[in-house]
Amino acid sequence: MNRTRARLSDGREIVYYDEAPGRVPVPDPRGLPPVEPVCETRRHPLTGAHVTITAPRNPRPLLPPADECPLCPGGPASEIPDPSYDVVAFENRFPSFDVRTPPVPPEIDGVERARGAGRCEVVCFTNEHSTSMAQLPVSRVRMIIDAWADRTAEIAAVPGVRQVYVFENRGVEIGVTLHHPHGQIYGYPFITPRTDRMLTMAAAHPDLFADVLKAERAGGRVVLPGEHWTAYVPAAARWPVEVHLMPHRHVPDFTALDAAERDELAVLYRDLLRRCDALYGTPLPYVAGWHQAPTGNDLLRLHLELFSIRRAPDKIKYLAGSESGMAAWINDVSPEDIAARLRAAG
């Protein structure tokens, strides 16, 4: 993999990852004004959770036509000036967190307040607009994994970043704003509530992830068993379709994976995505989120949580009163049934 760095016209960084060496980046012709992000966090006084306020994100593009896609290469609206690319990552033009955010007063009406100093990146998986991660060759998925590891290392080193989250939103039902195959990476300036809860559980149970994986591998919900990874539907699945993909070795993040683990991950992850699309005979809307340990903490084991709100071919699971209001989950689908159907979908 060959890495080439450049800058967009407003100063944001763009990084190309190519199979072949020798890329000479094309200058960004748009003449954008310098980035002036306004991102802040406020700590909810009743729960202690951080809420991010970032009003400048509101005007971001919403499902533009293919000829105006900002992730297709070289077009007048493109964020990627070059006429082609393999994999590319760049700082989000509409970030939730940015180290360039100016200082804010420490409180507002008694609520703790801080600038949203972090980093948000977009990762484009291919320059082909009408495809998906599931349809890419294994070699490209492997390159994406290497790019995720490289970006994780760099974003974790950004001052103020506490946690790096790699994820892909796929499908209009999930709420994507761009159709082009891509994912995102957030460098949070705080530890997220889900991660904080997992760290609490892991601190009380030092072998938590190993024991969970051992129990799941012995159960009936394994979808894909591998030498280095296992994909399974968790016994306490919250979502109608939910699959976890966990390495057999305790590693905190992508950077700690060895070559064999990355090779197998590329094969199993693509296989899993294809099974998800075959489940209902139509592309599955999903969130594929990679849990990684916070910076300086190795209690959490790297793992994927892929979930979908589709609970039947023509039905969507809406998060209503219990889930949205109380964070008390009610699943309408049996995890054992979904696991069996995903195994059969291969």
Task: List active site positions.
Answer: 182
Phi, psi of 26 (to 5 degrees): -80, 130
- Angle ∠(81,84,86) on CA atoms, nearest 5: 115
Alpha carbons 255 and 295: distance in angstroms, whole number: 12
Task: Report DSSP letters for 103-134, one per residue.
Answer: P--SEETTEEEEE---EEEEEE--S-SS--GG
Residue labelled with tokens 């760099």: 154
Q: Starting from the edge strand earliest in sequence, which strands make up the sheet with 107-108, in order?
A: 50-53, 40-43, 111-115, 107-108
Task: Report DSSP letters for 300-323, one per residue.
Answer: SPPEEEEEESEEETTEE----III
Question: Nearest Cα to 8, choosing from 23, 27, 24, 22?
Answer: 27
